[in-house]
Amino acid sequence: MTVEMGLRERKKAATREALSRAAMRLAIEHGVEGVTVDAIAAAADVSARTFHNYFPGKEEAIVAPLTDGAREVLARLAQRPADEPVWDSVRAVLHDVLVPGERFEEMIALMRIVKADPSLVASQLCGLGEMQREAAAVIAARTGTDPERDLYPHLVAGVMGLTMRVVANLWVDGRTGADLPDLIDSALAQFRAGLPAPDAAATADPSG
């Protein structure tokens, strides 16, 4: 029974990934308006009915590679050493998940599409919100806090989600002149310092 359940879960995960990758590729190739549930299902070689077993609509399928990245952060956070300072754990998992990998160009193209479409932004935020609630429980267990009444685990989880979204969006725009790992470190350092107001002279545009 255990082996059977394991095979079933792996098959479900593979189908979900096939659907999400098909949705992403179609959105990149044809734009969001040109994507339909039927087209996604056909590209993944499943029925439209099967599609709806995994996603409520095309928007959720298109943003799934990004929201799944958020879930990967959660899984890796749970695996960090229990005695590691929580902010060090957060930094480590964000570096692991956000640093460009083999699907680098596709993910950049997807992030640009999502940024330009309000319905996709809404779907992405819903996915991140769910991840943050689960991350708060993991952080609470690591820090001895209570996710039902304490702010701390929810604030740290919120910082994680915000850092992922803001850093990725700024980096995709290519205007910061910084590498993605450096942006992650800078964001977390500013949060840990209490978000001090920037020095106007240091941040002023020297050309302006």
pLDDT digits (tens, 9 = 90+) for 152-189: 999 999 998 888 888 888 888 888 888 888 999 999 99
Q: What is the number of H-type helices and E-type strands within the chain?
A: 10, 0
Of 95, 104, 54, 102, which Cα lies nearest the Cα of 77? Answer: 95
Tokens of 169: 């969006």
Instruction: Provide, rounded to the nearest whole percent, the portion of the chain with pLDDT above 90.
Output: 52
More confident residue, 37 or 206: 37
Locate 52 and state its tokens: 């709806």
CATH homologous superfamily of 58-194 equals Tetracycline Repressor, domain 2 (1.10.357.10)
pTM reported for the whole predicted model: 0.75
With beta carbons less than 8 A apart as the criterion, state whether 40 and 27 touch. Answer: no
Q: Average pLDDT over the chain, rounded to whole?
A: 87
Residue 85: pLDDT over 80: yes
Model pLDDT for residues 20-34, shown as the tens digit of each residue: 999 999 999 999 999
